[in-house]
Amino acid sequence: MLFIRKTLFWILLILANAFLLWSSIILFNASMEGLAISLVILLFIVDFAFLHPKGYPYRYALPALGLLLVLTVFPIYFTLKTAFTNYGTGHLLTRQQVIESLLKEYVTDESAEPYDYRVFMRLENLNPTDDFLLVLERSNVLYIAEKPFVTQRDSKGNVISAYSSFTPVKNDQALLGDRTYTLIRSKQDPERILSVNAMGPKGTYSYAFFFSFEDAATLPNQKYFISEIFTAYLEKADFVDSEEKVLRFGTRFGFRKLLESRKKYGLDTITVDQNGKVSQKVVFVNNLTNRTLEESDGNFYDINRDGSRTIVGGYSSFVGLNNILEMFTDSRLSTPFMKIFGWTLTWAALSVFFTFTVGLALALLLNNPRLRSRALYRTLLIIPWAIPSFISVLVWRHGFFNETYGFINKFIVSGLMGFEPIRWLNNDFWAKVSCLIVNTWLGFPYMMTVSLGALQSIPYTFYEAASIDGAGRGLRFRKITLPLLMTSIAPLLVGSFAFNFNNFVGIYLLTNGGPEMPNSITNAGSTDILISYTYKLAFEGSRGQNFGYASAITLFIFLLVIAISSVNFKLSGTFEEVNR
Amino acid sequence: MVGKKHFLGTHITLVIVLLIVLFPLFWVFTTSIRRDNAAFSTELISSRLTLQHYKELLFKPKNLPALISDMKQAANISKQYKDWDEDRIERAISGFINQFSHNLLKTEEALNRTDADIGQLEQFYAQKSQETMDTFLSALPQLEKDYELYGRQRLNELDPIGSILLDAKIIDHISTQGFASEVLPLLATRFPELSEAHAFSLNEVNKSLERARGELASLFSSAKLTEETRLSLSNSIDAFETIARAPGFSYTKWLREISIKLYNPLNGTFSSSTEGELPQRWEAFKEAQKSIAREIESDLKTLDQTLKTVAETVNEKKAREVDYYLNAWQTHAEELAELQKTLKQNKERELSTRIEQEALDNDLALLRSQLSVQMTLQEKALGIIETYLAQPDKTSTDKLLLERWNTFYQETGNLLESIQQIEMSDGELVKSGLLPVKESLSKIRDHQDRLRQLSGYSAIDDAIQVYQNTFPVLKTALEDIRQTIESQSKAGSVLVDIAFESDVIEKAIAYRNEEIGALSTKIAFLQNRILESNRDFDFFFLQSTLKNARDWKGISLFSQRSVQYLSLYPQELRGPVNTPDQSIDHLNQLRTLIDSFGDQKESVYATTGLLEADVKAFEERSPLYISLRKKGSQIKILELEEIETHYTQAAADFSSSLNRTGRRSSDLSKIDFFLPVKGALRNIDKSIFELMQYWDKKPEQFFMLWLLNSMIIAIVTSFITVAVCSFGAYPYSRMRFPGRKNGLLLLVLLQMFPSIMSMVALYSLLRFTGMLFPFLGLDTQGGIIFIYLGALPFNMWLLKGYFDTIPNEIEESALIDGATRFQTFYKIVLPLSTPILAVVFILCFMSTFNEFVLARIMLQSPQNYTFAVGLQSFSNGPYQMEWGLFTAAALIGAIPMVVVFLFMQKYLVGGLTSGAVKG
């Protein structure tokens, strides 16, 4: 029994090692080094956990640590790395990928004579299948082309490129790949090809004439042809013959005819002189104009006839501390950044202040044990906290703060008080006010609850003694309640500050970051906090997504929050607990 | 707390706070059950209630347009039907068809119900209209008397000006709008001759028209004509009468409208007739008509003449007494405006010129300082020269030197000339600081001869050099000074001109103001009179309408005109005109409602009939279509296209008008007058609303699916999180091992990383895993659950804290008794920690349910959205104003969470505060 268990144990351990190793190799190849490193660390921990006697505790922590490594450590590493690059729109691919895609670009020779084609289809019970072949024709020479093989698809499954080969037909026969093709012509009209027979190791198949643009009788099949065959196989296919001639569908004839084409960019080696050292460098050459492409700042540039440069491909490259420096020096970026940073601090502080004030006030009211239906009041007052925050924020945004139809403008401001409608979400100041209102509404129950809990821990005797000594209610509050409250609540307040510092939902869902700041090249808004600003930069850049810059800001936020949390932990004595 | 006995204040405060805090919830609830669109309504709470939104969200009933698109999909064998066999598709289609017919049936039922209610309304209408008319008619004699009295009083009170104005108004009205019947009584009072002329002309026209009819009759009697021809000829005479009585009749008009349009086409019939005399009769008839038309024209022309003469007299009087003053006033006012504008412009020019002057002064000061610098140099040189003057002669033979000196003296001369020029144009040499310069230069010139004799001394030469070096600067400075002084004098003269102009303008303004002042009383008087005469005219107009107020139509017209009149004139000028009985207006509205519904009803019945027939036809042929489609044919399904066309037409036809009817009837139901039929009106609104639910296109939404997604994701995530965290927290609490202390700290710090930014990394992570394991990829639930498992450290912290409170002794004794470490964990520690596990589960559940950002990025197809993402996309999309659906969905989504929260708040609060409150 023990023996079986032990073998099982070793087998599983070996399997786990193998799997992790294999995954990290794949990841390294796919240039996701961060993830690979995480898995390698995990590998070490696994081995340590199961092989070393002192590693026993790690067996328990394994799943947690594994998930943490993948889902928390890896993103941190990734963000760190990206902060020093220019990863973003225009620089999404690696250099290798850009090179590959440039080498795949084709230019069709629109002036050359085109190839006509006819489609021959293998039928099954009179229904078309997806097995077909083409017969090409140019200058009275016939060619057979086989069905293209899809080489690359994009994330949605659409075809990016496909490959097929073709060969000329002699005496109605052709040999292509491992099959021999024979054309069957009609007896009455020798010009017409009825079908093509294909003989190969997998058997003999007959392909009947299915569709041709010149033949009106095949028109009913056009729809099927276009939707099932052309877009699925032919549109992006390269037809190559034995002499490396490439045929593709171009723009002049669309899907009616094939044209010769060639690669747009080729590689060439040139000698460069770099600071006295002579070396060989591989560069791109535009095959049509014979100009070399320039490469700088993470972009490949092609030179036009008038000498101006156009970008043909960009890749993500290392830019060093550029992002961080730009954050503070480039005034187009640093002014919004400073404003947003300022507002973030104000917002967090004011949110804490308002929620705490309201929460404490209500807690004081509810703290009387002789108050009837206390539980009922408390339950009802907690409801704003219970409702999922996104629902509340959306309701506030559309139903209450809408300028024209919102409840507040329609009934209170214009109706009851008769003022001009307040432009809640379109005016800098009022947008901030509305954010604070909603956040207070959302957050005061939490403060109320913890205040209630803390208030109950203050001994009643203190108040008695104070009132005997003649202290009024205000004095009792200021000298007894507040100080004792603060010792227990302070960590929570700091925690709430940190939470609101990064309170994405409260800002973004309500105002989308608020009315746009003018003169900002990034779409910064006046109620944006750092986190929503980074989000917009990374995912909503109307002027392009700038992950690099966003990551730099994230690091900044991270450091800030660590600082705030350290303060918090000091206050709550967490550090001592850890040391216990 | 101490000694507090009354809690009334506290209760009141708490209740108020509760009302404010819970108001949004209340608003959400009321909006979700409203029938009208809360966004556009002015009412806070509506009485038109419906549960339609909830029905739509929860049950997603299919209405007609949805069924049509379903049938299309099935019959075209697209999407999910591709793999079905024929029988299955056929059954699906017949299911759809049944639902379709069912919906049509329901529509007709709703329509019938509405019809019954409309019947009730008809009865009410008949009864009430009779009542109202009776009331009105009974009050009518008195009203007529009052009007009569007032009218005569007004006419008697007319002063000359008022009289002129009234007459002018009457004539104006007749000239532009013809001899309308309402104006005739007034015409008779004020212009008896014109009235007579008009009556006479009218008589003549009538007689001529009689004759025309007579001609027609004789034509009819004398010839055999078809029914058609008879009809068209009668119509032609009717048309003749219409245009003859309308203003602007002329012979050419008759030719165009009657002769060419209506008679010429008949020429063929008559000329080709076989009956002997018919063609001639026809010609005779036409000739007769022609002459009658000409007669009428001449009659009307005579009337026109009379009118013109009267108009001339009246207008001439008016021009003299009224218009003259008004025009003068107008002119003065316009001129005044112009003048003031020019004055303002002048002031601006003055200001700018003064600013210029200041600038020039500054320039001069600058130049002075430049000069003074040069002056110091020159003084020094001059000083040296003067010391040498007394020395013995020493002439130099240096030719160059002598030449240089000559140039020097020339330049000196030039400079002095320039200074002189400036001096001549402006004696203010002192101001420009040129006086010392002039003096210094003059001195040099004076010493010219003496210096020549001393030319040998090099010191003198140096001094001369120094002098010469100052010259370039002096030259430019002089030039600048000259220009500046010129500009200054120009500016000065400009200011003088402006001052002069402004003076003139102000005088003109004063004059205009005076004139206007003089006229003002007269103008005020005239305007008052004009207002009164307008009002009088309108009153008489109204009075003549009263004369026709004998049937419902007349009474309605009279009350409408009364309302118009009352809206134009203030209380004091109203006379005997009172606000008409509101019931008239209400009953008219009811009439429109009933009539419009009648039309819409017809249209709806027609459409349902058509659609029923179409659907039947489709049902018969659907098997055939399906089999053809299966075989690959792309045949068009005509029946479906018919159905679609008919539906779209119908939707365009009656949907908006039916909605309007519904709204109108609900509006009417709020009026007290309709209290007896309030129920019927509200039922109509309700039935129409229900009816339209079958026809309106509904937005596509997957709320229940989204809610389900959220629940599944949240529950699974919570389970896994609780499991993993409890496993992970255990060693940190119970064991000592390398990396324990720092590991914990690291964990806590890691938690601080804003997860929002890890999005890019997580996105590429999911994309990668999606390639390996399809169920863990982007846009899958597995993927998003995987992502959510990253929120571990905080939970581990909570669990560790709780584990710490479980005494070690229990486990130690278990270990002694032979349990393994792992058994102590899952047999002892876990059961004891159920409270905290529950807390972690709920916290995790709630935060996953509320999580929005990551879900938004990772999930892309609407079917996979979680509730948060779906709700946000719905509220920001084209249905932004569909508050009913949105609030209903919000409520449905919020309620489970709130219930769970409220039940568990005990645990939650305990868990949170136990971590926070130390000691």
Instruction: Look at residues A136, A133, A128 and name the one whose alpha carbon lies nearest to residue A148.
Output: A133
φ, ψ for residue A7, nearest 5 deg: -60, -45
Cβ B632–A127 below 8 Å, yes or no? yes
What's the mean pLDDT in B890-896?
A: 85
Contacts of A578 in chain B (CB under 8 A): 741, 744-745, 748
Residue B494 CA: distances (Å) to CA of A292, B49, B93? 68, 78, 94
CA triple A342-A344-A346, angle to 5 deg = 70
Which residue of chain A comes nearest to B849, CA vs CA?
A: A388
Chain A / chain B CB contacts < 8 angstroms: 279
Burial letters B142-165, b for 16+ CB under 10 A, else e: ebeeebeebbeebbeebeebbebb
Nearest CB among A76, A387, A547 relative to B894 is that of: A387
Confidence of residue B274 (pLDDT cuts 50, 70, 90): low
The residue ranking higher by pLDDT, B786 or B40, is B786
Residues B606-647: pLDDT tens digits? 888 888 888 888 888 888 888 887 777 777 788 888 888 888
Residues B184-241: pLDDT tens digits? 888 888 888 888 888 888 888 888 888 888 888 888 887 777 888 888 888 888 888 8
At residue A568, the pLDDT reads 75
Q: Is the pLDDT of residue B1 over 50?
A: no
At residue B562, the pLDDT reads 86
Nearest CB among A54, A492, A562 relative to B916 is that of: A492
Burial letters B658-684, b for 16+ CB under 10 A, else e: bbebbbbbbebbeeeebeebeebbbbb
At residue A578, the pLDDT reads 52
Confidence of residue B919 (pLDDT cuts 50, 70, 90): very low
CA triple A479-A485-A487, angle to 5 deg = 105
ipTM for this model: 0.72
Which residue of chain B comes nearest to A402, CA vs CA?
A: B39
Please tell me the distance from the alpha carbon of residue A552 to that of residue B40, in angstroms, as a whole number: 45
Q: Is the pLDDT of residue B299 over 60?
A: yes
At residue A403, the pLDDT reads 81
Count Cβ atoms below 10 Å from residue B839 Cβ, excluding itself: 24
Count Cβ atoms below 10 Å from residue B776 Cβ, excluding itself: 20
Cβ B905–A379 below 8 Å, yes or no? yes
CA triple B540-B544-B549, angle to 5 deg = 140
Cβ A562–B821 below 8 Å, yes or no? no
Residues B438-450: pLDDT tens digits? 888 888 888 888 8
Please tell me the distance from the alpha carbon of residue A490 to that of residue A497, in angstroms, as a whole number: 10
How many angstroms separate the CA of residue B193 from the nearest CA in chain A?
A: 59
What's the mean pLDDT in B338-362?
A: 90
Nearest CB among A60, A78, A551 relative to B727 is that of: A60
Please name the residue ranges forming H helices in A502-546. Answer: 504-511, 530-539
In the three-class reduction of DSSP (H, G, I as helix; E, B as strand; rest coil), residue A236 is classed as coil
How many angstroms separate the CA of residue B14 from the nearest CA in chain A?
A: 8
Chain centroid to CA B333: how far? Answer: 37
Confidence of residue B338 (pLDDT cuts 50, 70, 90): very high
What's the mean pLDDT in A524-534?
A: 85
Nearest CB among B728, B778, B881 relative to A64 is that of: B728
Give the total residue count for chain B.
Answer: 919
Cβ A57–B731 below 8 Å, yes or no? yes
Which residue of chain A comes nearest to B6, CA vs CA?
A: A371
pLDDT above 90: percentage of residues in chain A: 5
Please tell me the distance from the alpha carbon of residue B131 to that of residue B709, in angstroms, as a whole number: 64
Contact B164, B318 (CB under 8 A): yes
Contact A142, A117 (CB under 8 A): no
Please tell me the distance from the alpha carbon of residue B232 to that of residue B230, in angstroms, as a whole number: 6
Cβ B27–A379 below 8 Å, yes or no? no
> Averaging pLDDT over each range in A563-567, B337-341, B481-485, B572-576, which range is the top one?
B337-341
Residue B658 CA: distances (Å) to CA of A89, B117, B121, B593, B693? 52, 15, 17, 10, 12
What's the mean pLDDT in B355-363?
A: 87
Contacts of A372 in chain B (CB under 8 A): 7
How many angstroms separate the CA of residue A143 from the nearest CA in chain B?
A: 29
Best residue of A394, A404, A489 to probe chain B, by most B CBs closer than 10 Å: A394
Q: Tally the C-alpha atoms within 13 A of residue A496's C-alpha that lie toward its C-beta.
A: 24
How many angstroms separate the CA of residue A442 from the nearest CA in chain B?
A: 10
Cβ A398–B883 below 8 Å, yes or no? yes
Please tell me the distance from the alpha carbon of residue B881 to that of residue B37, in angstroms, as a whole number: 8
Contacts of B909 in chain A (CB under 8 A): 449, 453
Q: Which residues pair with A136 in a beta bridge?
A: A117, A143
Nearest CB among B753, B793, B902 relative to A76 is that of: B753
Please tell me the distance from the alpha carbon of residue B878 to that of residue B701, in angstroms, as a whole number: 12
Cβ B758–A398 below 8 Å, yes or no? no
Nearest CB among A57, A68, A489 relative to B737 is that of: A57
Contact A145, A131 (CB under 8 A): no
Best residue of A9, A414, A578 to probe chain B, by most B CBs closer than 10 Å: A578
At residue B918, the pLDDT reads 34
Which residue of chain A comes nearest to B742, CA vs CA?
A: A578
Contacts of B792 in chain A (CB under 8 A): 64, 67-68, 72
Best residue of B760, B792, B805, B882 to probe chain A, by most A CBs closer than 10 Å: B760
Q: Which long-range contacts (CB under 8 A, 24 or more apart) does A510-514 make?
A: A510/A393, A510/A396, A510/A397, A510/A401, A510/A425, A510/A434, A510/A435, A510/A438, A511/A397, A511/A425, A511/A431, A511/A434, A511/A435, A514/A425, A514/A428, A514/A431, A514/A432, A514/A435
**Running DSSP on this structure, what letter comes out for residue A112?**
S
CA triple B790-B794-B800, angle to 5 deg = 120
Contacts of A531 in chain B (CB under 8 A): 754, 756-757
Cβ B727–A223 below 8 Å, yes or no? no
Please tell me the distance from the alpha carbon of residue A308 to that of residue A319, in angstroms, as a whole number: 24
Q: Is the pLDDT of residue A126 over 80?
A: no
At residue A542, the pLDDT reads 63
Residues 6+ positions from A238 with CB-CB distance below 8 Å? A106, A148, A161, A162, A163, A164, A246, A247, A248
CA triple A451-A457-A460, angle to 5 deg = 110
Instruction: Look at residues B554, B604, B607, B562 and name the one whose alpha carbon lies nearest to residue B582.
Output: B562
Please name the residue ranges forming H helices in B548-581. Answer: 552-568
What's the mean pLDDT in A263-279?
A: 73
What's the mean pLDDT in A446-469?
A: 85
Tokens 């949907």 correspond to what residue?
Answer: B655
Question: What average pLDDT is seen over chain A?
Answer: 81
Cβ A410–B868 below 8 Å, yes or no? no
Q: Is the pLDDT of residue B915 over 80?
A: no
**Structure tokens of B829?**
């520690």
Q: What does the DSSP assignment read for B71-95?
A: HHHHHTT-GGGGG--HHHHHHHHHH
Nearest CB among A32, A62, A454 relative to B768 is that of: A32
Cβ A72–B737 below 8 Å, yes or no? no
Instruction: Look at residues A485, A393, A494 and name the one whose alpha carbon lies nearest to residue A448.
Output: A485
Q: Is the pLDDT of residue B425 over 70?
A: no
How many angstroms separate the CA of residue A470 from the nearest CA in chain B?
A: 12
Residues B69-113: pLDDT tens digits? 888 888 877 777 777 888 888 888 888 888 888 888 888 898 898
Please tell me the distance from the alpha carbon of residue A138 to that of residue B628, in angstroms, as a whole number: 38
Residues 6+ positions from B429 with CB-CB distance below 8 Å? B419, B422, B423, B435, B438
Cβ B902–A382 below 8 Å, yes or no? yes
Please tell me the distance from the alpha carbon of residue B341 to that of residue B502, in angstroms, as a whole number: 11
Which residue of chain B comes nearest to A575, CA vs CA?
A: B745
Which element (helix H / strand E) includes A465? helix A460-468
How many angstroms separate the CA of residue B619 from the nearest CA in chain A?
A: 26
How many angstroms separate the CA of residue A184 from the nearest CA in chain B?
A: 26
Residue B168 CA: distances (Å) to CA of B45, B318, B533? 55, 7, 10
Q: Is the dihedral of CA A426, A432, A438, A441 positive or negative?
A: negative
Residue A576 CA: distances (Å) to CA of B201, B272, B738, B745? 116, 123, 18, 11
CA triple B15-B18-B21, angle to 5 deg = 155
**Structure tokens of A270?**
């040139």
Contacts of B756 in chain A (CB under 8 A): 502, 504, 531, 534-535
What's the mean pLDDT in A211-238?
A: 82
Contact A550, A473 (CB under 8 A): no
Cβ B758–A502 below 8 Å, yes or no? no
Please tell me the distance from the alpha carbon of residue B396 to that of residue B458, in angstroms, as a whole number: 9
Best residue of B19, B627, B732, B757 to probe chain A, by most A CBs closer than 10 Å: B757
Cβ A58–B731 below 8 Å, yes or no? yes
Residues A345-394: pLDDT tens digits? 999 999 999 999 999 999 888 887 777 888 888 888 888 888 888 888 88
Please tell me the distance from the alpha carbon of residue B25 to that of residue A479, in angstroms, as a whole number: 38
Cβ B893–A392 below 8 Å, yes or no? no
Please tell me the distance from the alpha carbon of residue B605 to that of residue B268, in angstroms, as a whole number: 45
Cβ A60–B762 below 8 Å, yes or no? no
Cβ A224–B632 below 8 Å, yes or no? yes
φ, ψ for residue B569, nearest 5 deg: -120, 140
How many angstroms separate the CA of residue B657 from the nearest CA in chain A?
A: 24
What's the mean pLDDT in B385-391?
A: 81
Residues B110-164: pLDDT tens digits? 889 888 988 988 998 898 888 888 888 888 888 888 888 888 888 888 888 888 8
At residue A353, the pLDDT reads 94
Give the total residue count for chain A.
Answer: 580
Question: What average pLDDT is seen over chain B?
Answer: 83
Residues B487-534: pLDDT tens digits? 888 888 999 999 999 999 999 999 999 888 888 888 898 888 888 888
